[in-house]
Structure 1
């Protein structure tokens, strides 16, 4: 689990192919200061497992599914990336609950009225609400406006300076993780909403069974 509070801007040192994915080596002196084999580090919001570390660098393997769903597929040597170590029990939750399981990507469309605008797939936009939380390239942000296929956020100067978001240009692709609580609520409520839509709802009966209400 992560919080969406970026600890360090790292640099991609090497990108190599694997049989079913890619291997990344990233320079990050802070996040590697106490890293061990098997630890989790979020790279641009994607939770990855450290397979090797040393001299201020760490190496991770990225499977094909992760490359397909995320913008990590376009990383190249020299690119800057947002880094965050997994949170420890008892740490302050400075952002929001972030799993590091990217749901898809969005595209930066530019600035409008002091807000940064992103376009995202419609199937993800339904999880966004005004003043709700969203993770963009591993950065916990508050949604200002939520539309059918776009959303806006306000980037404070510190966020722009200390993360990759201040280096992004219109047309750039970013990783998106929506609020996991919204996805769980949709899953749990789905059958009940579907039943209500059919004009029926299961209710406790007097005899301990169920009866149909219309």
Structure 2
């Protein structure tokens, strides 16, 4: 379990094809590498992966075909930066929201509007993900816990403060960039128990 509060950014050092999977080696900040162990879970752009090898300041992970199909990890190149978070400690503060590290799908940046130091971003997402979102609700974008401002049938917006833009990869993104999306777990259970059609979604808007 994670919170969506990014602890640092890693840099892609090596990408190695491994059948239908890839082996992903990241250069990791000292804060995270200092306490890393084989078998640990780490959220990489919001996707929970397992540490399989430690070498000085590098951690190695494996991403299978399902992960590559559901996330943006298969689009990474050497030198790209990714958001990192270790799991929530049992005695830790829940500063964001409950994040499972199970990416539901990807979205793409529709627009970026600057207002002083703040930025409003709109994201295009599949209908089934938009149905699980509400204004002022939580969403995880590339592992970052954020608050939704507005919702549309296939899009939503967020407002980003300068700190978030500085310490995460969102400040490096452009229109068209692909991002990982994990909706709030409460929204998933609601749509499972009370099916909502797209027509119903439009009526609520």
Does TM, normalized by the shorter one, top 0.5?
yes
- Equivalent residue, structure 1, for 2:190: 185
Larger RCO (CA under 8 A, 6+ residues apart): 2
1:1-214 mapped onto 2 (5 Å cutoff): 1-28=1-28, 29-112=30-113, 114=115, 115-190=120-195
Q: CA deviation at 1:123?
A: 1.2
Q: Distance in 2 between matches of 1:90 and 1:187?
A: 31
Q: Distance in 2 between matches of 1:32 and 1:20?
A: 28
Asked whether the 8 Å contact 2:47–2:102 carries over to 1, the reply is yes
What's the secondary structure of 2:31's corresponding residue?
Answer: coil
What's the secondary structure of 1:31's corresponding residue?
Answer: helix
Asked whether the 8 Å contact 2:44–2:82 carries over to 1, the reply is yes
- Deviation per CA, 1:101-132: give whole Å up to 9, x if none: 00000101222474111111111100010000
- Which ranges of 4 or more aligned residues in structure 1 deviate by more than 4 Å? none
- Runs of 5+ consecutive residues of structure 1 not aligned to the other structure: 194-214
**Are residues 14 and 113 of structure 1, via their aligned partners in 2, closer, same or farther at CA, if it must alter by over 3 Å?**
closer
Asked whether the 8 Å contact 2:130–2:153 carries over to 1, the reply is yes
Q: Distance in 1 between matches of 2:193 and 2:41?
A: 29
- Runs of 5+ consecutive residues of structure 2 not aligned to the other structure: 197-205
Q: TM-score, normalized by length of structure 1?
A: 0.86
Q: How many residues are aligned here?
A: 192
